[in-house]
Structure 1
């Protein structure tokens, strides 16, 4: 439920949500902003609401896209305490509650390697929900599970340290203003920086190539990152398959099959 606040703020309110939901959002925004990310300002929050800076939409521009890419790279470079680590609050302590992506709970367990974390904490839990919902067939699920065994086994691990990522950086959470991009609605955690870029590609973020160009001036991407986009889209596609219908189950299966070529 969305409710207008004073003229300079916007209130999201839901009396039925989990008591950690808005606190997780506020903590995630603080943590990302602490690393220099352009995030929406939080005016206050409680168990059933969060009050945010009111943003005025503007058209995307190439300079704004490049600045956003630069800021995104700096945010990733801010690091995290581990793969799957929760955001850290203003008190310096890791968020102790439940994390979310959209309205769905998300694991906050920390793992030794990225592949282990990504398979066990981000893809498989949502795959099981999707199978139960009938949006992924048992045959498709077997392909995804086979891909996850490779992921968990370290086939795609590299020397990248845990990055401080937004975690749900689809185009709808990239808000263009006259001052530049502002990020909203994070599912912040310690992950792989390529995941945020794959999210931007999933639903067609405007001026994505300019964003990438700006990003690489700060922290160049590892060779072959475009080939790994399907890998990093397994999580959001599994989440969408769990709650948004059969087409996402098909897309999840297609992404899993693409890993066979990597």
Structure 2
């Protein structure tokens, strides 16, 4: 199998892998997917992901491909080309990793601003979504943003977190208070075209000197959400350069720094829902800060 054949017959890729007709090397791929580097007969490399263990939810990899295509249609930020999006796997362009430099970070900040400025038809997306291993309600809404964010991005993952024992009733009451009062401190803006799951691990710093976006939960959302999640889990390399370049290209509304915990609360609740109570203190800290706005 070469790249031309794969483009014409993507559905044959699992068969070639099953019969070991393609060289496969395991690589790091995150907490849900089994990731590999494939080398085709023409020397081309691919990055592939399969669900581990078992079978992915219907539409899981197709949603990732739809999000990558939607972000890539802007030509704003480097996005890997998808060659196959099948029920069992996704295969895309291999991007050679490289160092995270300040120059790349500044360029990424400007590109992210351009992506956000491109906009979206509404909050949500036109395909069923996923974030990490969990379903994401992408039903498109005209807004306002605060009500949409509270009902579609906070409350569903709050309920899952409580049901799975990751958050207590007191934790839930605190987050519910944020949801009830969100319109009082939400900054209203038109829907931006956002990555939707932009923690630092979803930037791929490449050998070509650019920062690529991977693993999106792409949607129409608030641009501050992407910037807020870049600061989670230790923060992206050269975050000051990213934000500085972004703010020069597409100035942020006054008070955006104070609203960061509100925007982070969504992804933190996803983590308690998916991975358990080890993220409980982070949820509480974000909710307490958001409630003080």
TM-score, length-scaled by structure 1: 0.92
Structure 1 residue 214: Cα displacement? 1.3
Residues 180-219 of structure 1 aligned to structure 2 (within 5 Å): 180-203=210-233, 204-219=235-250
Find out whether 1:39 has 2:79 as its counterpart.
yes
Alignment partner, residue 35 of structure 2: 2
Secondary structure of the equivalent of 1:155?
Answer: helix
Find out whether 1:16 has 2:55 as its counterpart.
yes
Find out whether 1:141 has 2:181 as its counterpart.
no
Q: Distance in 1 between matches of 2:72 and 2:108?
A: 13
Residues 9-158 of structure 1 aligned to structure 2 (within 5 Å): 9-14=46-51, 16-35=55-74, 36-84=76-124, 86=125, 94-95=126-127, 98-111=128-141, 112-151=143-182, 154-158=183-187
Unaligned runs of 5+ in 2: 1-33
Q: Deviations over 1:201-251 (max 9, x none)?
A: 012111000001111121011111111110001100100011222231221
RMSD: 1.3
Whose radius of gyration is greater, 1 or 2? 2
Q: Distance in 1 between matches of 2:95 and 2:185?
A: 38
Runs of 4+ in 1 over 6 A off after TM superposition: none
Of 130-139 and 252-261, the range deviating more from structure 2: 252-261
TM-score, length-scaled by structure 2: 0.82
Q: Distance in 1 between matches of 2:106 and 2:175?
A: 35
Alignment partner, residue 200 of structure 2: 171
Secondary structure of the equivalent of 2:256?
Answer: coil
Alignment partner, residue 235 of structure 1: 266
Structure 1 residue 143: Cα displacement? 0.6
Q: Distance in 2 between matches of 1:121 and 1:166?
A: 16
Q: Which has the higher contact order (CA 8 A, sep 6+)?
A: 1
Kept in 2, the 8 Å contact 1:113–1:157? The answer is no
Unaligned runs of 5+ in 1: 87-93
Alignment partner, residue 13 of structure 2: none
Kept in 2, the 8 Å contact 1:136–1:250? The answer is no
Q: How many residues align?
A: 250
Q: Deviations over 1:42-61 (max 9, x none)?
A: 12211111111112211111
